[in-house]
Structure 1
Amino acid sequence: MSIQIFILGALSEGNYYPYDIKKRIGKHLDQTDAKITEGTIYYNFEVLLKKGLIEKVETIQTENRPDKTTYGITEKGRHSLEESIYKVFQKFTNVQSLYAALVHLDKVDNQKIAYLIEDIIEKMNKRLEYIDSHTPQEIDLQEDLKDALFLMRDHAYHSIQSDVLWLQKLLHHVQRRVLKS
């Protein structure tokens, strides 16, 4: 879904060839481990085309070269982009799942995004409280297993805590966008 959000977001700004989109995605994903192949891009263009979210704008034919097709977004695609961005926040799984949506915050109601982020932070804080309140008691386990459980708990707690701090920064950023509009 995030690739489709990125494609729709780029096409909402103008018409592009799939290869142009691949280069744009590459620029945004350079800091991550994600790798996008041309096959993935072309497959997602086909999916979006079949759904009526994008349309072919122009096909350029030249000798000894494959056809180059330019695509644009449809009104249905603009609506789908907006709904997809909201859905990413509503179904939050991890910080990385938000990356494609972050690039296109200018295409949605940032007040609504702020509420969704506040909801995510609240849920994450409840997870932290749960971990705090369920510290493993002294139970009869092998020492290695007990150490492993404490290390896993510690990692989970600090990972969630780190995500909450990042989400608070994101919330502050989105709230500033709301004030500017």
Structure 2
Amino acid sequence: MRVPNDTTDRLTPMGVMVLALLSEGDMHPYEMVRLMRARRDERLLSITNGTLYHTVGRLQRSGLLEEVGTDREGNRPERTTYTLTDAGKDALLRWLRRELSSIDRPTEFRIALAEAHNLERRDVIENLRVRRDALAEAHVSHRDGLTGARHKNVPEQVLVEFERQEVLLEAELRWLDSLLDRLASESFPWGPDAFEYSDRYRAQRKAAQQ
């Protein structure tokens, strides 16, 4: 199937989560939903069965995943299992790189950060440094804007949102510097090959498959 050139641009946050789940192994949509809820992914995006099934269908039509089999147990509905295609993996990694370096899409950044372990350490460091430069520029702009406004005696009550944003930018810069320091150390495990499939993870996957 031909994959559109703008696949990455068209990925939704839910689509990214589905592709990231399939990077862990083949699974059916019911397992995906249960895993996302078990991992408390509702903190990142709204999870509904309808949205997820619709997303799976759209990703399949785009050639980012494909069916690998169906099964039926007892009176349960038939379940279709999907696998990640090479195009799907490429789209996932390109989306993660783009959103890790951007500062204007906070929801997408949170999801990219949650799934950043799918990227190699060098990739993460490189894209977070781009983000840091943009954050530093935004912080200086907000700080200088506040200073200028106060010199002009602009009432504080109309500056509270600007003040909040300046504080948040400063805090995120401190956090990001800390993360980059940890990533620079090989003692901090990172990347697809560093993920340990613990007993807890295996139990979680088994429960989601029921």
- Which is further off, 131-140 or 107-116? 131-140
Aligned amino acid, residue 148 of structure 1: Q
What do residues 16-65 of structure 1 show as CA deviations (whole Å, max 9, x unaligned)?
Answer: 11111112222333572633111111111011101111011111246754
Of 4, 8, 14, 2:19 maps to: 8
* Aligned-residue RMSD, C-alpha: 2.7
Deviation at 1:153, TM superposition (A): 2.0
Q: TM-score, normalised by structure 1?
A: 0.82
Counterpart residue number, 1:151: 160
Of 47, 54, 57, 2:65 maps to: 54
Deviation at 1:180, TM superposition (A): 5.8
Q: Using the alignment, how far apart are the partners of 1:91 and 1:127 within structure 2?
A: 12
Deviation at 1:117, TM superposition (A): 0.8
Counterpart residue number, 1:176: 185
Evaluate the alpha carbon distance shift between residue 179 and residue 44 of structure 1 in structure 2; reply closer, same or farther with a 3 A threshold. Answer: same
- The answer to whether the Cα contact below 8 Å between 1:111 and 1:178 also exists between their aligned partners in 2 is no
Q: Using the alignment, how far apart are the partners of 1:51 and 1:25 within structure 2?
A: 23
Q: TM-score, normalised by structure 2?
A: 0.72
Q: Using the alignment, how far apart are the partners of 2:125 and 2:103 within structure 1?
A: 13
Q: Using the alignment, how far apart are the partners of 2:117 and 2:158 within structure 1?
A: 43
Q: Using the alignment, how far apart are the partners of 2:36 and 2:166 within structure 1?
A: 32
Counterpart residue number, 1:161: 170
Evaluate the alpha carbon distance shift between residue 159 and residue 22 of structure 1 in structure 2; reply closer, same or farther with a 3 A threshold. Answer: same
Counterpart residue number, 1:92: 103
Q: List, as ranges, runs of 4+ consecutive aligned residues in structure 1 with deviation greater than 6 Å.
A: none
Deviation at 1:67, TM superposition (A): 1.8
- The unaligned stretches of length 5 or more in structure 2 are 1-11, 191-210
1:110-149 paired onto structure 2 within 5 Å:
110-134=121-145, 135=147, 136-139=149-152, 146-149=155-158
Q: Using the alignment, how far apart are the partners of 2:122 and 2:62 within structure 1?
A: 29
Percent of paired sites with the same residue:
20
Deviation at 1:94, TM superposition (A): 5.0
Q: Using the alignment, how far apart are the partners of 1:7 and 1:178 within structure 2?
A: 30
What do residues 124-181 of structure 1 show as CA deviations (whole Å, max 9, x unaligned)?
Answer: 111121122222045476xxxx222221221111111122223223323433359767
Q: Using the alignment, how far apart are the partners of 1:80 and 1:109 within structure 2?
A: 15
Q: Using the alignment, how far apart are the partners of 2:187 and 2:103 within structure 1?
A: 21
